Amino acid sequence: MQTADRAARVLELLRLRYPTRETHLVAQNAWELLVATVLAAQCTDVRVNQVTPGLFSRWPGPAELARATQEELEEVIHSTGFYRNKATNLLGAARRVTDVHGGEVPRTMAELVQLPGVARKTANVVLWGAYGINEGIAVDTHVKRIAFRMGFTESVDPVQIERDLMDLFPRDAWGDVNHMLVWFGRHVCDARAPRCGECEMIEVCPRHGVGQKEGAATKVRKPRSGKSGGKSDEAAQGVGSEARPEGKGAATGFGKPRKPTMGGRRRAGNVGRSGSSGGKP
């Protein structure tokens, strides 16, 4: 079976397994989703969802948070880990959203990655989760692992992995692909003990690297277009909760937007549903 055919079948099976698209991170709007996604780096979605209600009650939006002190915010988010760096980034993002964007979270990749703490992965999560915009595929630790196991990529570079996945899946499915692979990675395709015997993907999955130490079988492949100009997003939190906090103003790592390969489809997942967002989802 050709890789493209295998990807189409995987997408079909994922949609059968996850028809409701429940979110991981609890958020009511784009700003709350951005904050939750930043906090989810190196932290579980469960913990983030415990912290954000108090945070948003005290500072409902970017304008309010922009007036907080570093010490005040650190105290509230301390339990999420990397709290000093996260507090610095969130305060910087709040001030930029307030001063430059009139209090509205940007709707473009180029503007989002100029916010402190936001790189491609977080921007992809916010664009799809809050606005239904499919600009790319957020690559967290689950997406990275599953993409290799299924033979969709040979790279360990998140930017290249994203390119490889975007080549295989229709644009209107990009947000769903990340979202469903995160769920699949958490509950079925585990890093140490994948449940292959109970997985419907076994019919199409080559199981690359299964049984080997995680990452041992992967090869580093340079991006096709040369060096990417910014920090790669590794694991999100949803979107992806295993990543380090993202750096300030990371470049997008991509050129011109691709044209959709299929007609746009209204996203199924809504910001604010109980549950989680891409963990990072």
Nearest to 81 by CA among 40, 139, 24: 40
Q: Where are the alpha helices (DSSP H) in the chain?
A: 3-17, 30-39, 45-58, 62-66, 70-77, 83-101, 109-112, 120-131, 141-149, 158-168, 174-187
Give, in degrees to the nearest 5, the angle at Cα 54 between 52 and 58.
Answer: 115
Task: Look up 144 and say whether it is catalytic.
Answer: no
Binding site members for [4Fe-4S] cluster: 189, 196, 199, 205
Rounded percentage of the chain residues whose pLDDT exceeds 70: 75
Q: In this structure, which amino acid lies at residue 257?
A: P
SS3 at position 276: strand
Q: Which of 86, 121, 144, 231 is catalytic?
A: 121
Q: Which tens digit of pLDDT belongs to each residue from 124-155?
A: 999 999 999 999 999 999 999 999 999 999 99
pTM of the model: 0.76
pLDDT band for position 1 (cuts 50, 70, 90): confident
Q: Which of 45, 86, 140, 233 is catalytic?
A: 140
Between 210 and 54, whose confidence is greater? 54
pLDDT at residue number 267: 36
Q: Which tens digit of pLDDT belongs to each residue from 175-231?
A: 999 999 999 999 999 999 999 999 999 999 999 999 765 544 444 444 444 333 333
Task: Look up 45 and say whether it is catalytic.
Answer: no
**Residue-range domains of the chain with CATH:** 3-203 (1.10.340.30)
Q: What average pLDDT does range 73-86 have in this prediction?
A: 98
